[in-house]
Structure 1
Amino acid sequence: MLASLASRLSAAKPFRLSSPVATTRAFSRGTATNKPRHTMPDQSFFTSRASLRYQSNGFLLRRSFASYHHASHPGFVTSAIYLIIGLNTAVFAAWQYAEVTRDFNIIRLLEDHFLLSERNVKAGRYWTLVTSAFSHMHIWHFALNMMTFRTFATVLMWAGVGATQLVTLTLGSALVGSLAMLYHYRTRRGDSRSALGASGAVMGLGSAATCLMPFSKWTLMFIPIPMPLWLLTGLYAAVDIYFLDSEISPIGHAAHLGGTMFGAVYYLAYLRNYGGIWLSFRRLLRR
């Protein structure tokens, strides 16, 4: 039963790569402060070659490394990151246990409470609009989403984003991504697929990070060409738009786009004072 369900799911995966293993280089440029330099944690999904203090295009983040530890309480943010990853891990483990033991009671529980479907919404289980973003059935889907989530969340933390903002951004991106997927299926495709996965939330975090640091250089695993984050995000959005109405793609492109849009709106509403594209736009207006 679980195997047949898996073939019907529209799993939204973040990047098409063959291995979930990656490395990260420390940020290498100066921080305009005499305090010790802080570096990003290792084993992230991306490689970044840009400083968070000064970007290659002159974009300035308003908070220096020296103030991060006091302004955004990175310990709280780190706890929030691993809490979200832990919840995803628990639901993933439940799917695996149900598959191995063929426990149909657990399968039914997971289908009713951690699966995005029109049936669940019509039954009044509106929480599945969010809980489905904490649900993964396959190891590659789970691993890639969690590594990408951790990377973007850590970048936002070092940009000064606090735990409350990070959690709000994650949940909001998940919710809007789910709504976008349901709306697209109902109005354009006319089917009632089920879906799960954190990709909508991940894209929301990636969109916000792009608005904060659009010209920071990133390298995807096995693609040794550094690209600015705005180009990487833009290419991925273009792929989602191109395959949005595809009948053969199993990816939740509508959820990706919904999460991306929410992340950009959240940046404009709550994170623009941290710098990034809003600061650059204001400078252009003053000229």
Structure 2
Amino acid sequence: MGKNPPYLYWFLGVLVGGFVLQMMLVAWFRMSGVLSSWVALSPSGLMSFKVWTLASYALLHGGFWHLLGNGLGIFFLGRALLPEVGHKRLTQLSVVMIVAGGVLWTLVHLTSPGSVLIGASAASLGLLTLFCLLHPDETITLLLFFILPLRLQPKWLLWGALAINGAGFLFYEIPMLFGAPPLLDMGPVGWSAHLGGMLVGYLYYAFVMRGVSAPWMPRRSVKIEPPSWMRRKKAAAGSARPFKLNISNRSALRKEVDRILDKINHEGFGALNAEERDILEQAKDILNK
């Protein structure tokens, strides 16, 4: 274990580094306009083929507290999801959430080409959605305003987040889309970007973690018959037996266990096949002797 890089922590490091660079460029060189044009997301930027801004906007934040909120959310939620998703896949998923949030926000703000979006909130809200769906009834403790402990079940946290972001989308962003004043003054927040990230969290839970099918996305079983020279010879009748480890070479066994642990670190425990799970189960007692 440890041979593969901890992608999630690298991802957080990139977000912090982007914010530090942002502060330096703004404070020392007055380059806020350059950052808004080339790094932040805007409909006018996409119309100028700056497609990278669909992801790069997450590198910028509106201040220290904006970064702290997103960074802590991604860190703690990511840590909780690592055993089930893995470092690499979790980082990839965070980037997809950011891009999806950017796409949905852009579609909502097409009539306001000068609008600008920054921040990694789509990732933090998307990971929150995935965590709450996987652990809806577990009691967790949150520090309200970083001081007051609050115990609740994740499913209620998810409903609250969905209600707040849905209200911001319906009563703040949608009226502005049609040129009307907002029905609720909920501030210049990218509510649609948050919902885009949450949508990815839900889709990943439904179609990857739980394998739910839908009428428009049928699950079909496709069987491919390999050529004869690739087929394994069938075991003789009565020869089937549970998988057993060869414990004569502890070094080779430990190397195989390390490979499996690296796979869990990258792809989550659910990616293991039956043989790999058997190896872990049997090796646990052998290596501890």
Q: Same-fold call, TM > 0.5?
A: yes
In the alignment, what sits opposite 1:91? 18
Query: Secondary structure at 1:225's aligned position in 2?
Result: strand
Q: 1:76 to 1:233 in 2, by over 3 A?
A: farther
2:68 equivalent to 1:130 = no
Q: 1:76 to 1:162 in 2, by over 3 A?
A: farther
In the alignment, what sits opposite 1:167? 91
1-side partners of 2:43 and 2:135: how far apart?
A: 37
2:45 equivalent to 1:120 = yes
1:74–1:162 CA contact under 8 A, matched in 2: no
Q: Which runs of 5+ in 1 are unaligned?
A: 1-72, 276-287
1-side partners of 2:48 and 2:190: how far apart?
A: 22
In the alignment, what sits opposite 2:106? 182
Q: CA deviation at 1:74?
A: 7.6
Q: CA deviation at 1:109?
A: 4.1
Letter in 2 for 1:217: T
My pick for the range that moved more, 266-275 or 168-177, is 266-275
Q: 4+ runs of 1 displaced by more than 6 Å?
A: none
2:141 equivalent to 1:219 = yes
1:117–1:193 CA contact under 8 A, matched in 2: yes
2:68 equivalent to 1:143 = yes
Q: 1:192 to 1:108 in 2, by over 3 A?
A: closer
Q: What's the Cα RMSD here?
A: 2.4
2-side partners of 1:179 and 1:250: how far apart?
A: 17
The structure number with the bigger radius of gyration is: 2
TM-score, with normalisation over the residues of structure 2?
0.63
TM-score, with normalisation over the residues of structure 1?
0.63
In the alignment, what sits opposite 1:196? 118
What CA deviation, in whole Å up to 9, does each residue of 1:101-143 have, x standing for no partner? 1343xx3442233201011101111111111122214101011
Q: Which runs of 5+ in 2 are unaligned?
A: 173-181, 212-267, 270-289
Q: Percent identity?
A: 23
RCO comparison, higher one (Cα < 8 Å, 6+): 1
2-side partners of 1:75 and 1:88: how far apart?
A: 23
Query: Secondary structure at 1:226's aligned position in 2?
Result: strand
Letter in 2 for 1:211: L
Letter in 2 for 1:241: G
2-side partners of 1:165 and 1:94: how far apart?
A: 27
2-side partners of 1:113 and 1:232: how far apart?
A: 35
My pick for the range that moved more, 266-275 or 253-262, is 266-275
Q: CA deviation at 1:75?
A: 7.4
Q: 1:268 aligns with which of 201, 206, 218?
A: 206
